[in-house]
Amino acid sequence: CKNINLMDLIYWKDMERTGMVLTGLVVGLLSLFQLSIITVVSTVSLAVMCFTISVRIYYQVLYILSWGDGEHPFKSYLDLDISFSGEQADLYMQKAIIMVLSAADTLKRLLFVGNLFDSIKLLVLMYFVITLSSHSLYCYFSWPLISISINIYSSPFGHVNNIKDFFQRLAQGGGPPPDPTPGGAKPKSQ
């Protein structure tokens, strides 16, 4: 049943639910991009607690006014048993240990060249990851300097001429822009 719900989300069968899930994921990823994980978790926890406390107080007021039955609104969640038996805890711990050891064994074989082809694939992958990340960081941090040197921010309509001038100067070998006054004479100031 869970796989069917996941497939419904992937194939957009219920557009409203898929839109809500996708929006939540995008907002979550954007907030993780801008903020630390501790800040995001604490803010989400604060929002959930504000909601649950408000609902609990609302139900308590309804009970005091004799409009409600006085039952706790989150009783089903509080009564939910999430504990493990000893056997389940051992089983999950064994699975976790097996996964960690398997990952360590695979990493050992890749780093110490157990299989040459697999190690070369990892080397090429790491090279591309490092190269792309360094180039993207270079572009990200150098764009403000480039845009200032081109004077993109000077006027809303002047950026086309500035870019054109920049490329003309670049084609002529760089240097300062040509003097627009005839013969290089400075205009008289009054």
Give this prediction's pTM: 0.39
CA distance 50 to 56: 10
Asked if residue 114 has pLDDT above 90, the reply is no
CA distance 97 to 103: 10
Asked if residue 145 has pLDDT above 50, the reply is yes
pLDDT at 109: 86
61-75, 93-107, 144-158, 168-182: which is most confident: 93-107
pLDDT at 159: 46
Q: What total number of domains does the chain contain?
A: 1
Residue written as tokens 């009783």? 75
- Taking residues 90-103, what's their average pLDDT? 92
Say if 66 falls within a structural domain.
no
pLDDT at 94: 93
Q: What is the DSSP string of 118-151?
A: HHHHHHHHHHHHHHHHHHHHHHHHHHHHHHHHHT
pLDDT at 100: 93
Say if 140 falls within a structural domain.
yes
Sign (positive or negative) of CA dihedral 148, 153, 158, 159: positive
The number of residues making up the chain comes to 190
Residue range(s) defining the domain that contains residue 96: 88-151
CA distance 139 to 145: 10
Within 10 Å of residue 21's Cβ, how many Cβ atoms?
A: 12
Candidates 62, 42, 61, 38; CA nearest to 50 is: 42
Say if 143 falls within a structural domain.
yes
Q: Tokens in use for 120? A: 């070369």
Say if 11 falls within a structural domain.
no
Q: What is the DSSP string of 165-179?
A: HHHHHHHTTS-SPPP
Asked if residue 37 has pLDDT above 70, the reply is yes
Asked if residue 86 has pLDDT above 90, the reply is no
